[in-house]
Amino acid sequence: MTLLLNPKHKGFLPPAWRHGAFLKWLKRTHAWLGLWGAALGLLFGISGFVLNHRAQMKINVVTPVESSVQVDLPDAAKADPDALAGWFADYTGITAHQRLRKQRAKTVVWNDRPVQKPEEWSVSLSRPDLEVSAVYTVGNRYVDVKRSEQNLWGILARLHKGEGVGMGWILLVDTLAGALVMLCLTGFLLWSHLHGPRLAALGLIAAVVSWGWYAMA
């Protein structure tokens, strides 16, 4: 603090900002942001390590329980993809994020001969702990239904990748990103003690990094 009160050192911030009370508030803000970042960061760190080293270190703890069955599809659900999606939601009784996809009919080569592949509809209901899907080939009587249940590691991995999550989880992760940004800013300010020359150095570094990022883009 003696450095801040030395008249030889002139800062470009208002004197009130360089007062001890503001620095105390800055430290508390930095500490609480660090606690929140650590809580979510631990989850993302563990799940990220598992995902990053599954192949190299043979970490195969994500072992979903999968099953499949063919279900007789009612005629009403064969009308269009939306009808299929409505029937599937009622059939499973699962409230989850729904994704619908339609693949048009096309010609494929099988056994060196062109074959006409019928139109295909697929719908999936996804949560972090569970994913169910239905694939229907237009003209068939049955629909292929698959179910995949995740263990704890699978749930963490899907949360890490944002699969099967709702808007609430997305906004929660946004708070982690915001906390990390604020941790960097408050950390820089604490390091500089809000002293002019150090803040000028930080500003110069930020300008160089921004210019490099813009150049690469």
Asked whether residue 9 carries a pLDDT value surpassing 60, the answer given is no
Query: 133 and 88 in one domain?
Result: yes
Inter-CA distances, 70 with 73, 99, 134, 141, Å: 9, 20, 9, 10
Maximum average pLDDT range among 7-16, 62-71, 204-213: 62-71
Query: 181 and 121 in one domain?
Result: no
Percent of the chain residues past pLDDT 70, beyond the cut: 71
The answer to whether position 102 is within a domain reads yes
Per-residue pLDDT at 41: 78
Hey, is 29 helix, strand or coil? helix
User: Looking at residues 2-17, what average pLDDT do you find?
Assistant: 48
The answer to whether position 119 is within a domain reads yes
Q: Does an H or E element contain 202, and which? A: helix 196-216
Asked whether residue 34 carries a pLDDT value surpassing 70, the answer given is yes
pLDDT by residue (tens digit) across 161-185? Answer: 877 777 777 787 787 777 777 777 7
Asked whether residue 111 carries a pLDDT value surpassing 60, the answer given is yes
| Euclidean distance between CA atoms 123 and 67, whole angstroms | 16
Number of structural domains found in the chain: 2
Q: Report if pTM > 0.75.
A: no
Inter-CA distances, 30 with 6, 7, 40, 82, 186, Å: 26, 28, 16, 49, 6
Specify whether the CB–CB gap between 212 and 204 falls below 8 A.
no
Query: 163 and 90 in one domain?
Result: no
Query: 136 and 80 in one domain?
Result: yes
Q: Which residue has the higher pLDDT, 206 or 9?
A: 206
The mean predicted confidence, pLDDT, of the chain is: 76
User: Looking at residues 77-103, what average pLDDT do you find?
Assistant: 87
Query: 165 and 98 in one domain?
Result: no
Q: Using CA of residue 59, residue 64, residue 65, residue 71, what is the dihedral sign?
A: negative
Residue pointed to by tokens 């179910």: 147
Which domain covers residue 168, as residue numbers?
Answer: 19-63+158-195
Query: 190 and 162 in one domain?
Result: yes
Degrees, nearest 5: CA angle 10-25-173: 115
